[in-house]
Structure 1
Amino acid sequence: MTKKEFAFEQGETVLCFHGPLLYEAKILKTDWRVLDPPHGDEGPLYLVHYRGWKQTWDEWVPESRALKMNEVNLAKQASLKESYPGKKKTVPKTTSSGESSNRGKNRSKDTSVDKEEEYIKRPEIKIPIPDTLKVQLVDDWENITKHQQLVPLPRTPSVAQILDMYKDSKKEKKSKSDEIFQEVLAGIKAYFDKCLGNILLYRFERQQYVDIRKKYVGKEDSEIYGAEHLLRLFVQFPSLIAHTQMDQDAINALRENLVDMLKWMQKNHKDLILSEYENASPAYMSIVKS
């Protein structure tokens, strides 16, 4: 029987992976559970709360996603943030004498705090994921992070094709809100292309992303990836929407369309989602480990 040893304690502050980046988090609870049901492997799990995030983002994570709060790992956090795609570097403002303007720096810091508090106070946006698709999300995580498998790319149908298929399924139903429907589909595609390389990939998939982008230079991510990664976007949508300036009516309309599309994906999941992932090649494993 495996000895129950926890690397982290309840109440401890750690750095935790959420997507490709590391965030400061507090361990609320610890538990010892079956991590890999088919094989019966047990291990430690930690309920974490991300600093500055709403409680709805609290989640149970395996030990592999948490790191000790120390100088080495803080440097790793900074390095990942610096290499985060789309990150803009800021240049400190200076006075005519060449000195840094602390007033501007403080104002910027105050603005960031205000924005964070405003985000936390915003009402929750719930987008329920159907049970069948929840199971897929769990399987997806296990296939990649535990079994070190990959989604074979390019996928058919791709995200772009899936959106067209969903659009075609609604042609017979004439609606006064058809313009909103078109905007939602265009928005999903735009969000996917913007977010995939930033927040939708697991660490083990990053090298695959680098390789596939070199191979298909003229294509968008939504033309290469499929339903497996699209589902991850739906999980992130509540946070993404909360950071927009959309009014409540617009949010309600968007939520209604997203929920309907998820129901459609559940109904057609056998045609949209892979039944088996592929094993990573020895060459790929060597690159990832190095």
Structure 2
Amino acid sequence: MANIKTSSDVSDNSNNSSTSQTEIENLNSVCPYEEGEKVFAFHTACLYEAKVKHIEYKHKRWRFFLHYLGWKKSWDEWVVIDRLMKHTEENMQKKLDLDKKYGNEKNAKKPRASTKGSN
């Protein structure tokens, strides 16, 4: 099971928490992603493969801390659920189509400008 943080985890220990114990117990069944799960994440107009590192339920919204596969940790970020897609064959094809459309193909080579004179 994922170790999900809620807004009540960071609040004081008073009884006026907006998240009831029952709601907290049901969070795991409602959350569509798990820690360690590979996903696709939108960043600008492209999809990138990422791994869910942490999950948080705060202010009635899911947030996911992602590590983008093949990228430095400095690119890790919190994202909302609207930017995520399940890691499926169908979504992999969507990623490949977007890569092709925006010229982000993995093995695409851009032509270099010649530095030699034509004389």
Interval of TM-score (by shorter of Structure 1 and Structure 2): 0.5 to 0.7
Q: What secondary structure does 1:79 align onto?
A: helix
For residues 68 and 83 of structure 2, the distance between their equivalents in structure 1, rounded to whole angstroms, comes to: 13
Partner of 1:76: 94
For residues 88 and 56 of structure 1, the distance between their equivalents in structure 2, rounded to whole angstroms, comes to: 20
For residues 23 and 15 of structure 1, the distance between their equivalents in structure 2, rounded to whole angstroms, comes to: 5
**How much identity, in percent, do the aligned residues show?**
34
For the pair shown, the structure with the greater C-alpha radius of gyration is 1
Partner of 1:11: 36
Question: What amino acid does structure 1 have at the position aligned with 2:72?
Answer: K
Partner of 1:64: 82
For residues 50 and 41 of structure 2, the distance between their equivalents in structure 1, rounded to whole angstroms, comes to: 6
The count of aligned residue pairs is 82
Partner of 2:68: 50
Given the two structures, how large is their TM-score scaled by the length of structure 2? 0.62
More helix, by proportion: 1
Deviation at 1:88, TM superposition (A): 8.1
Distance 1:74 1:33, change over 3 A: same
Matches within 5 A, 1:240-251: none
For residues 44 and 58 of structure 2, the distance between their equivalents in structure 1, rounded to whole angstroms, comes to: 23
Gaps of 5+ in 1: 35-41, 90-107, 113-290
Cα-to-partner distance string for 1:43-100 (whole Å, 9 max, x where unaligned): 211100001111111111111111111111001101111111xx288xxxxxxxxxxx
Given the two structures, how large is their TM-score scaled by the length of structure 1? 0.26
Distance 1:12 1:88, change over 3 A: closer
Gaps of 5+ in 2: 1-18, 110-119
More strand, by proportion: 2
